[in-house]
């Protein structure tokens, strides 16, 4: 007999095939959601899976901006976010109107926008980036001056690593789940796990990033963990990633850099909410066409430059 939890997952499966849906889960989602998903990945990987999928309905288990990216890339699909309150506090630090004001102060700057941002902000941007391609894309742009929004830590990482010394203006936004970790936390974690190699996300503060052995996006961490001979790793990103790391590398050991690396909105989606979403085809995320088209251009430009 299936237990209570597997009964829920069985219901998800049945509804999914009835509604011709695919379930996508971000790397930071809770284990039961990752296990229910057809694909687990970072925001951009998942949006591309959504756009290429033959499914008519996309259930996006992540936060609002991620579902928006899927709706930008393919407006013909029904994109569901099972919990509308699952926002991204970093994305919420910026609006299109505030960006337009800031652009007036730096009229020569290319506007480079992290994917963790609202669609209307992407629509005001020259190009989008993810944490895995931000430095490369800024290097590739002709502009010597960059307005990087909204993550100040990723912006500062780009400023320190861009090859041609570009002037990078940053926005005052950050991801609390990454920004909250300090150099003292790194010292404590290293003392507790002296053999572990430290992998940090570039959304962490500079003192954490500079103390790390390697700096990666979530996709970069998964790849490194798979390929390295290291047996123990301290993971400097939202702790949801540890489930996938451990599942894919059962003979290696992973420790969270800090228990503070926890995103509450990433944990709002439950199997019950997926079921309700599949039954009602709500809540649905759609992007108005006057925002969608310029936002799509900024995302497409990222793809072109990332491949160059």
Q: What residue ranges bind ligand CIZ (CB under 6 A)?
A: 26, 42-43, 115-116, 130-131, 201, 217-219
Question: What's the min distance (Å) between Cβ of 131 and ligand CIZ?
Answer: 4
Half-sphere exposure of 38 (CA within 13 A, CB side): 19
How near is the Cβ of 188 to ligand CIZ at its closest, in Å?
Answer: 24
Report CA-CA distances (Å) from 89 to 165, 174, 176.
Answer: 30, 8, 8
Q: 61 φ, ψ to 5°?
A: -95, 95
Residue 301: closest CA among 112, 69, 106: 112
C-beta closer to ligand CIZ: residue 217 or 239? 217
C-alpha span between 11 and 21 (Å, rounded)? 13
CB nearer to ligand CIZ: give 266 or 275: 266
Query: What residues are paired with 254 via a beta bridge?
Result: 233
Give the nearer residue to ligand CIZ in terms of CB position, either 180 or 281.
180
219/294 with CB nearer ligand CIZ? 219
We find the least distance from the C-beta atom of residue 144 to ligand CIZ, in angstroms, to be: 27
CB of 136 to ligand CIZ, least distance (A): 15
Instruction: Compare residues 16 and 244 and give the one whose CB is closer to ligand CIZ.
Output: 244
């Amino acid at each position: 007999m299936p237990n209570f939890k597997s009964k829920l997952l069985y219901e998800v499966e049945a509804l999914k095939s009835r509604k011709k849906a695919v379930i996508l889960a971000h790397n930071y989602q809770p284990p039961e959601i990752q296990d229910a998903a057809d694909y687990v990945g970072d925001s951009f990987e998942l949006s591309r899976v959504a756009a290429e999928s033959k499914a008519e309905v996309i259930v996006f288990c992540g936060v609002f901006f991620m579902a928006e990216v899927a709706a930008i890339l393919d407006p013909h699909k029904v994109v569901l976010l099972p919990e509308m309150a699952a926002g991204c506090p970093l994305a919420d630090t910026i609006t299109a109107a505030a960006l337009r004001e800031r652009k007036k102060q730096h009229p020569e700057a290319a506007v480079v926008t992290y994917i963790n941002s609202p669609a209307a902000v992407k629509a005001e941007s020259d190009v989008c980036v993810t944490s895995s391609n931000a430095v490369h894309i800024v290097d590739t742009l002709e502009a010597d001056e960059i307005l990087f929004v909204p993550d100040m830590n990723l912006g500062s990482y780009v400023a320190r690593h861009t090859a041609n010394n570009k002037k990078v203006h940053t926005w005052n936004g950050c991801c609390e789940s990454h920004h909250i970790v300090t150099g003292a936390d790194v010292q404590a974690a290293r003392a507790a796990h002296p053999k572990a190699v430290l992998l940090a996300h570039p959304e962490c503060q500079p003192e954490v990033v500079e103390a790390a052995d390697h700096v990666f996006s979530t996709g970069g961490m998964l790849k490194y963990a798979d390929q390295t001979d290291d047996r123990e790793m301290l993971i400097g990103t939202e702790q949801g990633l540890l489930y996938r790391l451990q599942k894919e590398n059962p003979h290696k050991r992973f420790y969270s850099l800090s228990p503070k690396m926890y995103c509450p909105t990433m944990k709002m989606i439950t199997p019950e909410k997926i079921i309700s979403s599949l039954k009602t085809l709500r809540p649905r995320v759609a992007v108005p066409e006057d925002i969608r088209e310029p936002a799509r251009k900024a995302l497409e430009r990222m793809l072109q430059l990332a491949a160059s």
